[in-house]
Chain A
Amino acid sequence: MEMISDVYRGFRSLLKGMGVTIRHFFRKPVTVEYPRERAVVSKVQRNAIVLIEKDDIGSHNCIACLQCEKICPSNCISITGSRKDGLAFKRPDTFDLNFALCSECGLCLDVCPTDTLGYSKQYDKAGYSREDFFYDLLDQWKATEETALGTLREIERKKKEEREARRKADAEAKAKAKENDDGDEKA
């Protein structure tokens, strides 16, 4: 008798389970047919870093401060930079990324003082050798580098003028205040 009830219970639980799987037959597929469809990537998707364009410069605004190189836990960034004529800050000469070492922690983005680092949107990179993951981040900016330098010099010149104008105004204001003071004393 016990055996019969066992068999009954077993059958019932099996059929119930099969009912679940049969219901799944009529549900929509959850997979994405990758090469034909592409998944939508999250806005903050972490990836290889790129230098992002700044609107006022028309190019990146890396000042080769080496902060990202210093904080990177896996030492995958290497930058060299030099002073260019008429610029207050340095400009990078090389900006190499060894993406094979990167662990996508995002610490370099956090420390960047000019916020010119961002993530690449290309998520399906593959390669046959280690060298395929050595990225030169300045590659895409090489063509526009001269104009960017020009813009930067222009910005720098304007800033300088502004600074001087402010200094002049300050000095004038001070002189005026002094005059007033003197006048007060006389009176």
Chain B
Amino acid sequence: MPELIRVGRDEDRDTYHLNMGPQHPSTHGVLRLRLHLKGEVILSADPIVGYSHRAHEKMAENRNYIQFLPNTSRMDYLSGMIYNVGYCQAIEKIIGLEVPERAEYIRVICCELNRISSHLLWYGTLLMDLGGFTPFLYCFEDRERILDILDLVSGSRLTYCYGRFGGVTEDVDDKFLSETLAFCKHLRNRLPEYDDLVTNNVIFQNRCKGIGHIDKKTCHEFAVTGPCQRAAGEKRDVRRDEPYGIYDRFDFKVPTRTGGDCFDRFMVRVEEISESLSIVEQAISKLPVGPVMAPKVPRKIAPAKGEYYFAVESARGHFGMYIVSNGTEIPERMHFRTPSFSNLATMRRVLKGSTISDTVAILGSIDIVLPEIDR
């Protein structure tokens, strides 16, 4: 039998193989972890992906650049807005299209709201994996408000197709702005409540502290990005290091920790929520008036022959788009560098020596989205 399929007790009857997933609620999708166990301790772990492969990259080779827009938000369905807008920004940069100021600000507001909603969902599901159901409901209540706000402008709740080459589809109205500001205030009041309920909870701290160390060296070797990398002490953020769009105009901190364990990753994300809130508030206070769509968008989008790379910071880390154009309307090749894939790859090293119950916490803390890994 091929090594990856074999499960059950080994011949020496001392160790055994166990499949965790693909239909396991705490693997956040269809991830299969093949664990080699001795008792409760993991000797080796193989993450096996590909169960929700939908060939987005191949689809890109069979349609023109505009038609690929709905695919982008379906790769990472939790931060679809960031992917969608990121793809638009990539194409705009390639063909040299100027985006109106107002559209840029709206994009930042929507992307940061989407980042918060993604982090809130992660917060809830991590806590649910650890056995706390109440925080999950509170997080979803807050996340629901974000989805409603984004629904006001983009017309969808999860898989947004809001960005267009040269701007966005809809202008924001006063209702959107007032509700966003009200939400920011509401969530700021809610965060201390979350701290009382979760962060300061001794059981939670004991569950998370000191497990799942991803250190700087591992980050470098596996190209770990996003909150996982920042929790290891690396101050890296695409928004800060190579600002795309108008991110250089905002004043925000890049939260970092030094330990690199589950609790540090948790704290980094919680701090990121309040940083994103401050970006949203700054963007609303500076929001200029004007059009939300570039006046002249070429009907045919055919970038010059060549290879292009563009990266944005998604809720999970460095999301890169590698686009090869052959000068026609249809791309020659499109490849996406998605953060969860690299973050998950570390599991082979990180899970070694930990226990099954910790595996759930570690997997939850790296915040993987399987459709984004498989694409």
Interface flags, A9-26, vs B, CB<8A=1, else 0: 110011011011100100
CB distance A71 to B67 under 8 Å? yes
Known contacts being A16-B196, A21-B197, is A44 close to B67, with CB within 8 Å?
no
Known contacts being A20-B193, A20-B196, is A44 close to B154, with CB within 8 Å?
yes
Interface flags, A42-84, vs B, CB<8A=1, else 0: 1111100000000000000000000000011110000000000
Interface residues on B, range: 20 to 34
Known contacts being A19-B196, A21-B134, is A107 close to B67, with CB within 8 Å?
yes
CB distance A13 to B202 under 8 Å? yes
Residues of chain B within 8 A (CB-CB) of A107 are 66-67, 69-70, 161
CB distance A42 to B151 under 8 Å? yes
CB distance B152 to A10 under 8 Å? no
| B94 beta carbon closer than 8 Å to chain A | no
| B16 beta carbon closer than 8 Å to chain A | no
A8 vs chain B, min Cβ distance (A): 10
Give Cα A71 to B66, complex, Å: 8
A15 vs chain B, min Cβ distance (A): 10
CB distance A110 to B197 under 8 Å? no
Give Cα A24 to B196, complex, Å: 13
**Considering only CB atoms, which chain B residue lies closest to A41 in the complex?**
B151
| B201 beta carbon closer than 8 Å to chain A | yes
**Considering only CB atoms, which chain A residue lies closest to B153 in the complex?**
A44
User: Which residues of chain B (41-72) have a CB below 8 Å from chain A?
Assistant: 63, 66-71
B239 vs chain A, min Cβ distance (A): 26
Residues of chain B within 8 A (CB-CB) of A71 are 66-67
CB distance B161 to A104 under 8 Å? yes
Chain B interface helix/strand/loop/mixed: helix
| B144 beta carbon closer than 8 Å to chain A | yes
Known contacts being A30-B144, A44-B152, is A17 close to B196, with CB within 8 Å?
yes
Give Cα A14 to B196, complex, Å: 9
| A180 beta carbon closer than 8 Å to chain B | no
Known contacts being A9-B202, A10-B202, A44-B170, is A106 close to B161, with CB within 8 Å?
yes
Interface flags, B63-84, vs A, CB<8A=1, else 0: 1001111110010000000000
Give Cα A110 to B196, complex, Å: 48
A residues at B contact (CB < 8 Å): 6, 9-10, 13-14, 16-17, 19-21, 24, 30, 42-46, 71-74, 103-107, 110, 119
| Cross-chain pairs A/B with CB under 8 angstroms, 15 sampled | A10-B202, A13-B200, A13-B201, A14-B201, A20-B196, A30-B144, A43-B152, A44-B155, A46-B161, A73-B70, A73-B71, A103-B70, A103-B159, A104-B70, A106-B155
By Cβ-Cβ distance, the 6 closest A-B pairs, closest first, are A105-B70, A46-B155, A73-B67, A105-B161, A44-B155, A103-B70
Known interface pairs A13-B202, A30-B144; 11 further A-B residue pairs with C-beta atoms within 8 A, sorted by A's residue number: A10-B203, A14-B203, A20-B196, A43-B152, A46-B161, A72-B67, A73-B67, A103-B159, A105-B70, A107-B66, A107-B161
